[in-house]
A and B are shown apart, each in its own frame.
Chain A
Amino acid sequence: MGCRNKRPPQLRVDLSLYVCLSHLSAANAELPNSLEEVNDNARFTIEGRVFPLSDYQTTQSNWQTNTRILINGGEFRGFVKKDGSFLINNVPSGSYVMEILNPDYTFEPLRVEINSKGKFRARKVNFIQSTVVPVPYPLKVKALTNTRYFQVREQWRLTDFIFNPMVMMMFLPLVLIMILPKMMNDPETKKEMEQIQNLTKFEMPEMGDYVSNLLAGTSNSPSQDKKKAIKNKKRQ
């Protein structure tokens, strides 16, 4: 279907009582052009072809039946033939949004514009911006992706298990109880620990002294030496 470029628009022509019709079909490519006339009631046929992912290499055996083509949400409907081509008959001039719906593939919607002379223009749908990304006509629509409807369940992983708070709760106390005392027994580590402790030990002025001095020792404040001595004694 893609090979045919231009087709006369389908017109309503009065022949006799019956009439009819330039019916369009796959086999019937040539139609008299002389009958063409432009009026408001002119009806046109949108045509194109749908390709599932990687052209026929589809897992879905009968994707044509499950694919529907809707114009403006169902104002007009088209069906897909075996080779993927489709026709939407009897469309008056105007601007339409064409959706291609398939449960397994996602297709991009297209905007098809038909002027009253039967000229077709197709572009990508963009509801927000007015930028025009033209698409060649007759339409060739490729599936974007396989549609994913489902969330993926989280897999069980060892790291998840280990960092699980419950597991941590079980193992951390074990580590603390079993391993830390062992480390303490080791004399070298003990020394190291002490060194670390010494490093962090500072001679901090004792606030209690100040306050007690302030409150109690107003008359005769003892010298610092003595206090130190007392303190040392106390420590011993």
Chain B
Amino acid sequence: MSSKQQNRRQKWILDNTRTNKADLASPPAYVSSCVPQSHEVSKKTDINRLITKKSWDLALAPVKQLPMNLFLMYMAGNSISIFPIMMVGMLLLRPIQAIWATKATFKMIETNTLGQMIVYVLGHLLNIGLALFKCQSMGLLPIYSSDWLAFVEPPMRQEYLGGGIALH
């Protein structure tokens, strides 16, 4: 699919460089040596470049979301109500889903994208970290002993006591 596209694209490229440049004298003050060389190479690299750029765009998307998420979380506040909880939940769930789907995301990029993938996952991990931090500041993370207090079983009593006021 992509190669086909390339062909088509080549067909439509208006290439000025193909003209015979030796026939013509260079315009005044034109130094041919200063003209950038090897367009063939650049064409190839351009496509590669595009692919890498695209892949990096993809890889950096989560990092780019980060400031926005920070702002959102700041706006949500630390009070526990339905909307902040929903936002935090989304913030936590989306990166996890995205990490699961990393392979699928990078499938259309055919080149080796290991680095991008790592950056992508790291970016999502950063988002998760942000969500966890938010949870923590909202007091949703059970990280204190008091959070487990309700599950502490009362101690068994060893002795049994009865009695009262002496009636006689």
Alpha-carbon distance A217/B49, docked complex (angstroms):
8
User: A212-B56, A220-B36, A220-B42 known; A207 and B64 CB under 8 Å?
Assistant: yes
Which 5 A-B pairs give the minimum distances between C-beta atoms?
Answer: A208-B57, A212-B53, A208-B56, A211-B56, A212-B56
Which A positions have Cβ atoms within 8 angstroms of B? 206-209, 211-212, 215-217, 220, 222-223, 226, 230, 233-234
The size bracket of the interface on B is 10 to 19
- A209 and B53 within 8 A (CB): yes
Provide the residues of chain B in CB contact with A223, threshold 8 Å: 36
Besides A208-B57, A211-B56, A215-B56, 13 new A-B residue pairs in contact (Cβ under 8 A), listed by A number: A207-B60, A208-B53, A208-B54, A212-B49, A212-B56, A215-B52, A217-B49, A220-B36, A220-B42, A222-B49, A226-B46, A230-B46, A234-B50
In terms of DSSP, what is the predominant structure of the interface of chain B?
Answer: helix
- A216 and B49 within 8 A (CB): yes
Alpha-carbon distance A215/B52, docked complex (angstroms):
9
Provide the residues of chain A in CB contact with B32, threshold 8 Å: none
Provide the residues of chain B in CB contact with A230, threshold 8 Å: 46, 50
B48 within 8 A of A: yes
- B42 and A222 within 8 A (CB): yes
Provide the residues of chain B in CB contact with A211, threshold 8 Å: 56, 60
- Expressed in whole angstroms, the minimum distance between the Cβ of A161 and any Cβ of chain B is 19
- B36 and A216 within 8 A (CB): no
- Expressed in whole angstroms, the minimum distance between the Cβ of A87 and any Cβ of chain B is 40
- B48 and A216 within 8 A (CB): yes
Q: List 17 A-B contacts (CB under 8 A).
A: A207-B63, A207-B64, A208-B54, A211-B56, A212-B49, A212-B53, A212-B56, A215-B56, A216-B48, A216-B49, A217-B49, A220-B42, A222-B46, A223-B36, A226-B46, A230-B46, A234-B50
Please provide the chain B residues from 16 to 62 with a CB less than 8 Å away from any CB of chain A in the complex.
36, 42, 45-46, 48-50, 52-54, 56-58, 60
Alpha-carbon distance A215/B115, docked complex (angstroms):
11
